[in-house]
Amino acid sequence: DAGVTQSPTHLIKTRGQQVTLRCSPKSGHDTVSWYQQALGQGPQFIFQYYEEEERQRGNFPDRFSGHQFPNYSSELNVNALLLGDSALYLCASSLGWQGRAGNTIYFGEGSWLTVV
């Protein structure tokens, strides 16, 4: 059973460019969330997709956008890259709301983005 997979693993971009990161959720999962983790910090929530709609969004500018496809995979797009966007981008998957018991969130290994 494949877990959460992300691509690419590492990439280097220049300021002002645009980047797309991809995520395939764990088999059977329908919800994908994206987190940004700067060096030495905890992950910060960017947004969450469920049923192809953005359901929640963290405190990130509109330069950060996403999409979820019918097969539940997801993309994170960042436009007009800034040096401060350099970070590890983590994708997490889970099932939709399962009542009070909740369910486990699984993480991928992340995509390292360096902006120069």
Partner 1 sequence: AQTVTQSQPEMSVQEAETVTLSCTYDTSESDYYLFWYKQPPSRQMILVIRQEAYKQQNATENRFSVNFQKAAKSFSLKISDSQLGDAAMYFCAYRSARNYGGSQGNLIFGKGTKLSVKP
Least spacing, CB of residue 16 vs partner 1, in Å: 27
Least spacing, CB of residue 110 vs partner 1, in Å: 5
What b/e sequence results for 11-38 when a residue is b if at least 16 CB atoms lie within 10 Å of its CB, and e otherwise? eebeeeeebebebbbbeebebbbbbbee
Residue in 73, 26, 34 with CA at minimum distance from that of residue 55? 34
Contact pattern for partner 1 over residues 64 through 103, marking x by CB under 8 A:
------------------------x-x-x-xxxxx-xxxx
Least spacing, CB of residue 100 vs partner 1, in Å: 6
Q: Which stretch binds partner 1 (CB under 8 A): 18-26, 41-49, 77-85?
A: 41-49
CA distance 79 to 42: 23
